[in-house]
Amino acid sequence: MPYRAPVTDFQFLFDHVVGLKQIASTERFADATEDVVQAILAEAAKLSEEVLAPLQRAGDLHPARLENGVVRTSPGFAEGYQAVAEGGWVSIAASPEHGGMGLPMTVTSAVNEMMGSACLSLQVSPLMTQGQIEALEHHASDEIKAIYLPKLVSGAWSGTMNLTEAHAGSDVGSLRSKAEPNGDGTYAIKGQKIFISWGDNDFTENVCHLVLARLPDAGPGTKGISLFLVPKFIPDAQGAPGKANDLKVVSLEHKLGLHGSPTAVMQYDGATGWLVGEEHDGMRAMFTMMNNARLGVSLQGIAAAEGAMQHAIGYATDRAQGRSLAPNPTGTIFDHADVRRMLTTMKAEIFAARAISLSLAAAIDMETATGADEWRARAAFLTPIAKAFGTETGIAMCNIGVQVHGGMGYVEETGAAQYLRDVRVTAIYEGTNGIQAMDLTGRKLADGGEAAYAILDEIEERAEAARHSLPELAEPVWQATESLREATEWMVAQTDMNARFAGALPFLRAFGRVLGGHFHLTAAMATEGKGPRASLAQFYIAQLLPETHGLLAQATAGADTLYALSQEDFAA
Amino acid sequence: MPYRAPVTDFQFLFDHVVGLKQIASTERFADATEDVVQAILAEAAKLSEEVLAPLQRAGDLHPARLENGVVRTSPGFAEGYQAVAEGGWVSIAASPEHGGMGLPMTVTSAVNEMMGSACLSLQVSPLMTQGQIEALEHHASDEIKAIYLPKLVSGAWSGTMNLTEAHAGSDVGSLRSKAEPNGDGTYAIKGQKIFISWGDNDFTENVCHLVLARLPDAGPGTKGISLFLVPKFIPDAQGAPGKANDLKVVSLEHKLGLHGSPTAVMQYDGATGWLVGEEHDGMRAMFTMMNNARLGVSLQGIAAAEGAMQHAIGYATDRAQGRSLAPNPTGTIFDHADVRRMLTTMKAEIFAARAISLSLAAAIDMETATGADEWRARAAFLTPIAKAFGTETGIAMCNIGVQVHGGMGYVEETGAAQYLRDVRVTAIYEGTNGIQAMDLTGRKLADGGEAAYAILDEIEERAEAARHSLPELAEPVWQATESLREATEWMVAQTDMNARFAGALPFLRAFGRVLGGHFHLTAAMATEGKGPRASLAQFYIAQLLPETHGLLAQATAGADTLYALSQEDFAA
């Protein structure tokens, strides 16, 4: 089934759930009028449906490859990328002074999701560039901004993030790449980086690498890391790509999925780099980029789930099999209760995850527009939840998508399996979901739970407001929130950080579950408890929200049981 | 990490959980002495570790392929299969009069699991043959038995199951393949079958297909289906493979995983076949084969999970990353609470699923040995639970296995992703898990819940027995069982079958969860609440068993919500 962008869902979420109106009422985002947003959604939908979706299988069947040191991308990807760039879709959020539209992340996120549903492996490229644009906007010198930003925003050049080294993954602080001053304000970058998404391509004039490395006088750990911009071709005085820099792609990984997205091992042999931000302060700049990327990756999870769901609906409503017991039989497997459970689960989970991610985007926008600490704290708190919940939802829904297809789901030509293979990495990259959960229960609860309680208060207030009109929905949401509040209090009370970390991921999942209930309830309230959105809310709240119970049992169990088995016991 | 067969776990389960002693005390299985069983486990472990495990990657990298109508298997598979056959491992359960050892399914199951962990795609072949042997033992004429069984048991010939047609998957009754009497007691088989595992190979002298087809006077549906044995080469008077039969492999599927196992489209162009069992009674014979295969597939799920867990443990105890907060630091990611949660979950879930599947095998053995209705009913009830729970556990654990590896998990060379790709089909073939759940809540509750209640009674009795010695384990198991009993009563009370089917899979999962708690409690009782098995039981019962709550909310929600959304709503 060809992809159809869920424009109506985005519009509903904008209007009734995540508060785009509030964002558009700020001076910063005054351009995001209803007309503009509608036009953006419609145009991005068209691009995704017509140009990008046809590339999905080609990227899988004909992976990007390395030929004599040059990356050759999948058939059609160059043309697809040009369409993205020419349409201005690489970054609609970038500042107008560098050629962007200055639109909210909320709208950008919808666009990113649509492009990701259509062709996830290609969409990784603009997503990386978006992160680089944001990092440069915040931390680079005016000179660098003037040279690089217009090129990145137009899509003429692309950007990458270089953090990981073979021995330094989640523990970025242990990286060893070096940067030595050349005496002319530039630096010589030396080292090897792995897992570099879109480390090279054959369709942009230049590829700009943001590389974490250590200066000669750097201390150990993350505080000794600086950030450098290292272009593939060094721009000449006019800003045109000039001399090739001393860097190369050593190899590309053979991955489970995302075959169209080249994942490179990059070698820097004294490549010329420019410092971005202050010396030894690279992690701060990198976090600007990573937080953006974490939101983006959450939407990749949802994008794949949406694609997988549409694929599954297409199959289910076409495949005749078995005797129907449905009230309104269609004669297809769409009638079967278990198939209907799978599809309803997909639709309900996608709504929940999308609402969470867009509400994170909205918080980022309000932080940008107002500079208020409350919005900053809310965005910071929601980031790990959106990333892990969105990507776990992505994997689980793509797995269901395969199941809906029965035996055909296991056959690659069907396309259902590709969604599962492609989406699998989203729970791993930009900080594994385990790292997200540690961030949530460590750093993001370091305020004593203030940001968490603000969100829980908001959920309970809304549930209170619906207690009389929609009691069967409001009451379970309120109850689950109370349980989550108790678990949050338990977390905050743990001075042994490992007790928090032991329950971190189940706690994060429970928070996502409850937020999902909150947003479903919001949708039901907006539709006065009638129609398909309210039915979906009823399904989610009655059947998926009760998972919170089991998750919180894990969240608050402490670390002891986890360490009861020794290494020998595991090997026995 | 090289595979190490979990012989100690099997022995523990045999001795303390599933009751192999009781089986060995019957006349039928008197040969299954402690010494014999120990020797079998040790030898099968050796074969799996040394001969089969090295083939795992080769099968993935070099899929079976079709060359001019001939299937060429993956490098080393022919030798691997010969080792399986020569060791007598194709079927140790087959009757001694045909060359088997007549050993219990309980022991066979452990052997099958070990071979499956080592190389799942090769193990599919003997598993299919085992099912065929059992079907022929029960339903074939003495003449057929005499010719075929010794060849199948020795592994000289292999067997396949041919049910599915392009338009007839889960709905077997709609198949159209035809069988016309040739007038000499044989039949001419015509039709096309799809998804035929190991439909051909280049290492057995003959391939024997059991094919479902319709006689000219057959009625519609499953009652008009007969079963035929259709060999690739027609045996001559001496029983040696003679003239090629009129059948061929049309194509092989490109699958997500199990690349080493050729999945064929088979074309029968008037091939000579022999009736197995009575005319129009093919489904009964096929069910003999399928029930066996469902147990076997449940163990494939567990096999992959065990392989994935060992792989993950190997990586986790080797990879240094991040600062340790563990009580006994190893300096590797094995110290991190979230990694430990993943590994502990794997170990606890594998124990639960394995105990369920082996207890099904034990019930089959007791049914075989005693012919008692109680054992028959228990085996019938446990079959869909073991199949779906074992395979869903397999997929979920292999997914965790990828996650433990971080970025390396997404790189194919690591091998973690292969387990996930390979195991994915187990939730689909031999009856999708949705079909299993319909079988459980439909056919298997048609006795008014008698078989279910017998199991629930047994669980509660054991929990009662442990109430004083291990209250913190016994009490939650007892409580969860009571909740499950209520859900079972709800199920039995539904006269609208679709209300049952709407909650069927969550009900099945909840039953698996509770059985898992029961077997963990049993293990803890056997070890007097001390040591790693008791710790694992504590983890499962405190942290995984509470999932039952959420599952039962789904199980008893009824069908209405599932049908609230129309086809248009889904497409919107």
Nearest to B254 among A257, A412, A562 (CB): A412
pLDDT tens column, B47-89 = 999 999 999 999 999 999 999 999 999 999 999 999 999 999 9
Best residue in B335, B543, B548 to probe A by mutation, most A CBs within 10 Å?
B543
Nearest to A406 among B328, B432, B536 (CB): B432
Average pLDDT over residues B531-557: 98
Among B387, B362, B300, B314, smallest CA distance to B114 is for: B300
DSSP string, A56-82: HHHHHHS--EEETTEEEPPTTHHHHHH
Which residues fall within 8 angstroms of residue B282, CB to CB, at 6 or more apart?
A: B212, B213, B225, B226, B227, B228, B276
Which residues fall within 8 angstroms of residue B445, CB to CB, at 6 or more apart?
A: B452, B488, B491, B492, B500
Class of domain A434-561: mainly alpha
Residue B293 has pLDDT above 70, yes or no: yes
Nearest to A553 among B338, B543, B562 (CB): B543
The distance of A253 to chain B (nearest Cα, Å) reads 6
pLDDT tens column, A351-380 = 999 999 999 999 999 999 999 999 999 999
Helix, strand, or coil (residue B95):
coil
- Residues of chain B positioned with their CB less than 8 A from the CB of A491: none
Is the Cβ–Cβ distance between B403 and B417 less than 8 Å?
Answer: no
Helix, strand, or coil (residue B220):
coil
- Residues of chain A positioned with their CB less than 8 A from the CB of B421: 256, 421
Residue A279, both tokens: 């010396």
Crossing angle of the two packed helices A504-526 and A471-493, in degrees rounded to 10: 150
Q: Give the pLDDT band (50/70/90) at residue B571.
A: confident
Find the closest chain A residue to B429 by CA distance. Answer: A407
pLDDT tens column, B385-425 = 999 999 999 999 999 999 999 999 999 999 999 999 999 99
Residue B289 has pLDDT above 90, yes or no: no
The answer to whether the CB atoms of A549 and B554 lie below 8 A apart is no
For A287-344, give the secondary structure using H, E and C.
HHHHHHHHHHHHHHHHHHHHHHHHHHHHHHCCCCCCCCCCCCCCCCHHHCHHHHHHHH
Instruction: Tally Cβ neighbours within 10 Å of residue B316.
Output: 24
- Residues of chain A positioned with their CB less than 8 A from the CB of B554: 341, 543-544, 546
Can you tell me the distance from the alpha carbon of B190 to that of A289, in angstroms, rounded to the nearest whole number? 63
Residue A53 has pLDDT above 70, yes or no: yes
Among B413, B348, B333, smallest CA distance to A432 is for: B333
Model pLDDT, residue B443: 97
Output the CA torsion B466→B468→B473→B478 (10° steps): 70
* Amino acid at residue number B248: K
Residue B270 has pLDDT above 90, yes or no: yes
Is the Cβ–Cβ distance between A214 and A224 less than 8 Å?
Answer: yes
Per DSSP, B415 falls in state: S
- Residues of chain A positioned with their CB less than 8 A from the CB of B561: 344, 535, 538-539, 542-543
- Residues of chain B positioned with their CB less than 8 A from the CB of A342: 434
Average pLDDT over residues A305-332: 94
Average pLDDT over residues A377-402: 98
* Residues of B with active-site annotation: 430
Strands (E) in A99-186, as ranges, are: 157-162, 178-181
pLDDT tens column, B425-437 = 999 999 999 999 9
Nearest to A561 among B257, B336, B542 (CB): B542
Is the Cβ–Cβ distance between B119 and B53 less than 8 Å?
Answer: yes
Average pLDDT over residues A108-115: 98
How many Cβ contacts (< 8 angstroms) between chains A and B?
263
The distance of A240 to chain B (nearest Cα, Å) reads 35
Output the CA torsion A264→A265→A266→A267 (10° steps): -160
Is the Cβ–Cβ distance between B232 and B184 less than 8 Å?
Answer: no
The answer to whether the CB atoms of B410 and A395 lie below 8 A apart is no
The answer to whether the CB atoms of B410 and A255 lie below 8 A apart is yes
Nearest to A565 among B502, B536, B572 (CB): B536
Query: How much of chain A, in percent, has pLDDT values that exceed 70?
Result: 100
Can you tell me the distance from the alpha carbon of A369 to that of A357, in angstroms, rounded to the nearest whole number? 18
Angle at B252 between CA B249 and CA B258, to 5 degrees: 130
Per DSSP, B541 falls in state: I
The answer to whether the CB atoms of A543 and B532 lie below 8 A apart is no
The distance of A238 to chain B (nearest Cα, Å) reads 39
The answer to whether the CB atoms of A341 and B505 lie below 8 A apart is yes
The distance of A36 to chain B (nearest Cα, Å) reads 22
The answer to whether the CB atoms of B564 and A326 lie below 8 A apart is no
- Residues of chain A positioned with their CB less than 8 A from the CB of B419: none
Query: Tokens 């059992």, residue?
Result: B134
Model pLDDT, residue B286: 86
Model pLDDT, residue B237: 83
Model pLDDT, residue B219: 93
Query: Residue-wise over A398-431: b if at least 16 C-beta within 10 A, else e?
Result: bbbbbbbbbbbbbbbebbbbbbbbbbbbbbbbbb
The answer to whether the CB atoms of A542 and B561 lie below 8 A apart is yes
The distance of B135 to chain A (nearest Cα, Å) reads 24
The answer to whether the CB atoms of A563 and B326 lie below 8 A apart is yes
Residue B21 has pLDDT above 80, yes or no: yes
- Domain limits of chain B? 433-561
Can you tell me the distance from the alpha carbon of B415 to that of B304, in angstroms, rounded to the nearest whole number? 12
Is the Cβ–Cβ distance between B503 and B558 less than 8 Å?
Answer: yes
Best residue in A340, A505, A560 to probe B by mutation, most B CBs within 10 Å?
A340
Can you tell me the distance from the alpha carbon of B490 to that of B555, in angstroms, rounded to the nearest whole number? 9
- Residues of chain B positioned with their CB less than 8 A from the CB of A347: 565, 570
Residue B1 has pLDDT above 70, yes or no: no
- Give A270: exposed, middle or buried? Use CB within 10 Å, 0-12, 13-18, 19+: middle
Residue B302 has pLDDT above 70, yes or no: yes
* Residues of A with active-site annotation: 430
Model pLDDT, residue A60: 98
Nearest to A170 among B321, B334, B557 (CB): B321
Model pLDDT, residue B287: 84
Asked whether the CA dihedral A314, A319, A320, A325 is positive or negative, the reply is negative
Can you tell me the distance from the alpha carbon of A514 to that of A545, in angstroms, rounded to the nearest whole number? 7
- Residues of chain A positioned with their CB less than 8 A from the CB of B550: 544, 546-550
Residue A406 has pLDDT above 90, yes or no: yes
The answer to whether the CB atoms of A421 and B256 lie below 8 A apart is yes
DSSP string, B374-410: HHHHHHHHHHHHHHHHHHHHHHHHHHHHHHHTGGGGG
Nearest to B170 among A341, A406, A565 (CB): A406
Residue A19 has pLDDT above 80, yes or no: yes
Residue A290 has pLDDT above 90, yes or no: no
Instruction: Tally Cβ neighbours within 10 Å of residue B250.
Output: 15
Strands (E) in A147-225, as ranges, are: 157-162, 178-181, 187-197, 206-213
Average pLDDT over residues A316-338: 93
pLDDT tens column, A218-273 = 999 999 999 999 999 999 988 899 999 999 999 999 999 999 999 999 999 999 99
Residue A174 has pLDDT above 70, yes or no: yes
- Residues of chain A positioned with their CB less than 8 A from the CB of B438: 338
Best residue in B61, B338, B413, B505 to probe A by mutation, most A CBs within 10 Å?
B338
The distance of B534 to chain A (nearest Cα, Å) reads 10
The answer to whether the CB atoms of B498 and A553 lie below 8 A apart is no
Q: Give the pLDDT band (50/70/90) at residue B114.
A: very high
The distance of B561 to chain A (nearest Cα, Å) reads 6
Find the closest chain B residue to A330 by CA distance. Answer: B567
Is the Cβ–Cβ distance between A95 and A137 less than 8 Å?
Answer: yes
Q: What is the pTM of this model?
A: 0.98
- Residues of chain A positioned with their CB less than 8 A from the CB of B571: 4, 313
- Residues of chain B positioned with their CB less than 8 A from the CB of A171: 321-323
Among A296, A305, A310, A311, smallest CA distance to A393 is for: A305
DSSP string, B294-357: HHHHHHHHHHHHHHHHHHHHHHHTT---S----SS--SSGGGSHHHHHHHHHHHHHHHHHHHHH
Is the Cβ–Cβ distance between A535 and A555 less than 8 Å?
Answer: no
Find the closest chain B residue to A332 by CA distance. Answer: B567
The answer to whether the CB atoms of B546 and A532 lie below 8 A apart is no
Nearest to A169 among B407, B542, B569 (CB): B407
Class of domain B433-561: mainly alpha
Residue B572 has pLDDT above 80, yes or no: no
Phi, psi at B527, each rounded to 5°: -105, 20
The answer to whether the CB atoms of A403 and B434 lie below 8 A apart is yes
Nearest to B8 among A341, A546, A572 (CB): A572
Can you tell me the distance from the alpha carbon of B400 to that of B413, in angstroms, rounded to the nearest whole number? 17
The answer to whether the CB atoms of B502 and A327 lie below 8 A apart is no
- Residues of chain B positioned with their CB less than 8 A from the CB of A326: 498, 563
Beta-sheet pairing, A157-162 with A206-213: parallel
The answer to whether the CB atoms of A255 and B167 lie below 8 A apart is no
